[in-house]
Amino acid sequence: MISVDPVLQGQVDSLNAAYGLCLDDGRLEEWPAFFVDDCLYQVIARENVDNGLPAAVMYCDSKGMLVDRVVALRRANVFPEHFSRHLISRAVIAGIKGETVTAQASYAVLQTRNDGETRIYNAGKYIDMLIVKEGAAKLVSRTCVYDTHRIATLLATPI
């Protein structure tokens, strides 16, 4: 464990909290703004990561692809109506190099569909690289490694 400036810790945790609420409030159009332009976002099964296999169910290596995902969700894709709720742990900051920070956090996404039951939909961890400057953090890359390798029905909304 490295000793982390509480201000920096707060900036990273604030980003994660705002990120989760953004998705859970359904403000998907605001989601790409959490990333820098030249970013990587992927959602990959833990069984693949553990076995050195690269295939991810979402793999966006530009901000444009994040925007395309959102437009597709809004206008094209068909999926069960649902609400999601992100519970994100305090980040563990692993490295700081200038403005670049590496961090990890655990997450659980609860999902409530039209039957009214709330289920644990997806659990895993974020492996992040961030740029922190001028008092704000942005994601350079976020890899969502999901333990829940049995995806219920489909995975539409970003994790």
Side chain identity, residue 111: Q
H/E segment holding residue 62: none
If one asks whether residue 144 binds other proteins (CB under 8 A), the answer comes out as no
Assess contact for 142 and 35: CB atoms under 8 A: yes
CB of 45 to other proteins, least distance (A): 6
Which member of 4, 36, 67, 123 binds other proteins (CB under 8 A)?
Answer: 67
If one asks whether residue 65 binds other proteins (CB under 8 A), the answer comes out as yes
Show the site string, 39-58: x = touches other proteins by CB under 8 A, - = not.
----xxx-xx--x-xxxxxx
CB of 74 to other proteins, least distance (A): 9
Helix (H, G, I), strand (E, B) or coil at 71: helix
48: CB partners within 8 A, 6+ apart = 54, 55, 56
Q: In the complex, which residues of this chain contact other proteins (CB under 8 A)? A: 43-45, 47-48, 51, 53-65, 67-69, 71-72, 75-80, 149-156
